[in-house]
Amino acid sequence: MATGESSPVLKEANAHVIGGTINMHGALHIKATRVGSNTVLSQIICLVEAAQMSKAPVQKFADFVASIFVPTVVKLALLTFLGVRDGSIVAMVGDGINDSPALAVADVGIAIEAGTDIAIETADYVLMRSNLKDVITAIDLSRKTFSCIRWNYVFAIAILVAAGVFFPLLRIKLPPWVAGACMALSFVSVVCSSLLLRRYKKPRLTTILKITVEYKIVSTSKGNVIEVVCSFTLSIPGRFASVRPINVHASCNTCLFS
């Protein structure tokens, strides 16, 4: 039995008091003398203790704003710094609400398919899979596509030759069959150049970053023991003047008994 008096009192004969309320400066405090784990009173006590130990709503809101606003400001400052210093195109990859301002400021905004709706709407491109390797593939594929477009412009010059664009300068008339051959050659070259993109293969990270790996295997035999020494060198070229190549050396010994 639970009572609402300032001190537990017996309401009935042979009744056991399991809890009561104590008024202290207008605050509600629950004091239980015997509470079961599945009773309503035990659940109320757990809720009150959790509320007393948790942060105030204002502090929670301040922490939430700080967790979003501070990283966003840092990202915006970083994007602005990279764009001003190098003058190059800056891409931003993100999936959360706090990434939306950076996605909008960046020259190229890339969102992940599993990201929030705001990030997807703000980004210029959306990856269909939640795999960051697709970012490297997309950048490399775009470069190959623009290279193909430039070659198509070169192949399209044959159409201008067939149309007689050089006639005012050279005063040379092309026979009809030559003009037709130039047009056919131009169309075939453009189509074949575009179809080469179907043979595109995903690049490897070592190829894009120009990472070279050199390895050497030396085996020696000493009686019943065969010692194999493997060593490799990993060289990463610096992308900026202040970064030096990194060389990593490693070796391993393997002993085999006959």
User: Is residue 108 domain-shared with residue 138, that is, in the same domain?
Assistant: no
User: Is residue 97 domain-shared with residue 114, that is, in the same domain?
Assistant: yes
Res. 210 pLDDT band, cuts 50 70 90: low
Domain-terminating residue out of 131, 147, 166:
131
Q: Is 117 exposed, middle or buried (0-12, 13-18, 19+ CB in 10 A)?
A: exposed
DSSP string, 146-214: HHHHHHHHHHTHHHHHHHTTTHHHH--PPPHHHHHHHHHHHHHHHHHHHHGGGG--PPPHHHHTT-EEE
Residue in the structure block whose two tokens are 């509320």: 51
End-to-end CA distance of the chain: 81
User: Is residue 194 domain-shared with residue 215, that is, in the same domain?
Assistant: no
Res. 226 pLDDT band, cuts 50 70 90: low
Return the SS3 of 119.
helix
pLDDT tens digit string along 164-184? 777 777 777 777 887 788 788
In a domain, 89, yes or no: yes
Residue in the structure block whose two tokens are 């996605």: 103
User: Is residue 163 domain-shared with residue 186, that is, in the same domain?
Assistant: yes
Expressed as residue numbers, the domain containing 29 is 2-54
Q: What is the pLDDT of residue 101?
A: 83
In a domain, 204, yes or no: no
Q: What is the pLDDT of residue 115?
A: 82
CA 144 to CA 153: how far, in whole Å?
Answer: 15
Q: What is the pLDDT of residue 2?
A: 46
Q: What is the pLDDT of residue 79?
A: 64
Higher pLDDT: 164 or 120? It is 120
Comparing CA positions, the residue from 38, 42, 39 lying closest to residue 30 is 42
Domain-terminating residue out of 131, 155, 177:
131
User: Residues 219-226: what's their mean pLDDT?
Assistant: 60
User: Residues 101-129: what's their mean pLDDT?
Assistant: 86
In a domain, 72, yes or no: yes
Res. 140 pLDDT band, cuts 50 70 90: confident
Tell if the pTM clears 0.95, that is, is over it.
Answer: no
User: Is residue 112 domain-shared with residue 89, that is, in the same domain?
Assistant: yes
Least confident of 65-74, 145-154, 167-176, 177-186: 65-74
Angle of helix 133-155 relative to helix 176-195, nearest 10 degrees, comes to: 180
User: Is residue 156 domain-shared with residue 187, that is, in the same domain?
Assistant: yes
Q: Has residue 10 got a pLDDT over 50?
A: no
Task: Collect all residues with Cβ–Cβ distance below 8 Å to 211 and sequence separation of at least 6.
Answer: 205, 234, 235, 236, 237
pLDDT tens digit string along 12-40? 555 555 555 554 455 555 555 555 666 66
Q: What is the pLDDT of residue 183?
A: 81
User: Residues 60-79: what's their mean pLDDT?
Assistant: 59
Mean pLDDT (the chain) is 68
In a domain, 108, yes or no: yes
Least confident of 20-24, 160-164, 214-218: 20-24
Work out how many domains the chain is built from and give that number.
Answer: 4
Residue type, 162: A
Res. 83 pLDDT band, cuts 50 70 90: low
Tokens at residue 80, please?
């602005």
Listed ranges 87-91, 151-155, 158-162; the one with the highest mean pLDDT: 151-155
